[in-house]
Amino acid sequence: MRIIPGINVQNTEELLMRLKQVDDIYKAFPEDEPWVEIDVADGGFTRGYTTWRNVNDLKLFTREEKPFQIAMHVMMNQPEDVVEMWAAADIKRFIFHLETTASVEMITSICQTKGIDAMIALAPPTTAQHAIQYLKLADSVQVLAVSPGVSGQQFQEEVLEKIKFLRLQFPNMVIEVDGGMNPETAKKCLEAGASQIVATSYIFKADDPIRAYAELREIGRLGN
């Protein structure tokens, strides 16, 4: 099970600081494929909570400043309006919420044309049964284990059944779980069938982010 550092910040300065920390993590574990997931929110879908979302920052970074595979987790209504904008910033995965759009086929088609992974995210109230018809259009799925918005929330245990159901329905699909991660919840996600998890607060609020990543990594290796 892959561990992906997540970034949920307010401004460019914080983003740069987090990217430097992610770089340090992957320098400590050069054998790991370097992914990072960045949250963006404008407050509409996230009940007023907003994040950094300046696409020009990513466009201006040199390759040395972003030597990672970048996934954008777009917690915004009408993600079809911004998919091409983010795709132009050299991202590798576009994550959008099923709850925020009536244009799933359009978004997945654009992603396919641009050569990026289309991942559909499901907030806790959204059932896996409802999502099945849409997931057939996507490359991968994210199970959000917290309410969309701020990082540091408590893991919602009921999502474990959703993960199990999705794994039965889609044996080969990448299933990502985001939110409320620590070694205990990571192990539960692994056992339920998750392919990868995203950890934000557990890594970056730790005194030693590299050690926190390593702890989660040890859990992930149990599934290899």
Return the pLDDT at 60: 72
In the numeric block, the tokens 């990502």 are attached to: 176
pLDDT level of residue 48 (50, 70, 90 thresholds): very high
Annotated active-site positions, please? 39, 178
The pLDDT of residue 1 is above 80 = yes
The residue to which tokens 């770089």 are assigned: 23
Model pLDDT, residue 103: 97
pTM summary value: 0.95
Alpha helices (H) along the chain = 12-28, 55-60, 83-87, 104-114, 128-135, 159-169, 183-192, 201-204, 209-221
What pLDDT is stored for residue 18 in this prediction? 94
pLDDT at 67: 78
**pLDDT tens-digit readout, 125-141:** 999 999 999 999 999 99
Residue 152's pLDDT is what?
Answer: 82
Asked if the model's pLDDT at residue 214 lies above 70, the reply is yes
| Per-domain boundaries in the chain | 2-221
Q: Which of 144, 161, 162, 143 is nearest to 153 (CA)?
A: 144
Write the class of the CATH domain 2-221.
Answer: alpha beta
Q: Which two tokens stand for residue 123?
A: 């907030």
pLDDT, tens digit, for every residue of 79-114?
Answer: 999 999 999 998 999 999 999 999 999 999 999 999
Phi, psi of 200 (to 5 degrees): -115, -75
Mean pLDDT, the chain, rounded, equals: 95
148-164 pLDDT per residue, tens:
988 888 999 999 999 99
Other beta carbons within 10 angstroms of residue 36's beta carbon come to: 22
pLDDT at site 65: 56
CB distance 105 to 138 below 8 Å: no
Q: Is residue 30 over pLDDT 70? A: yes
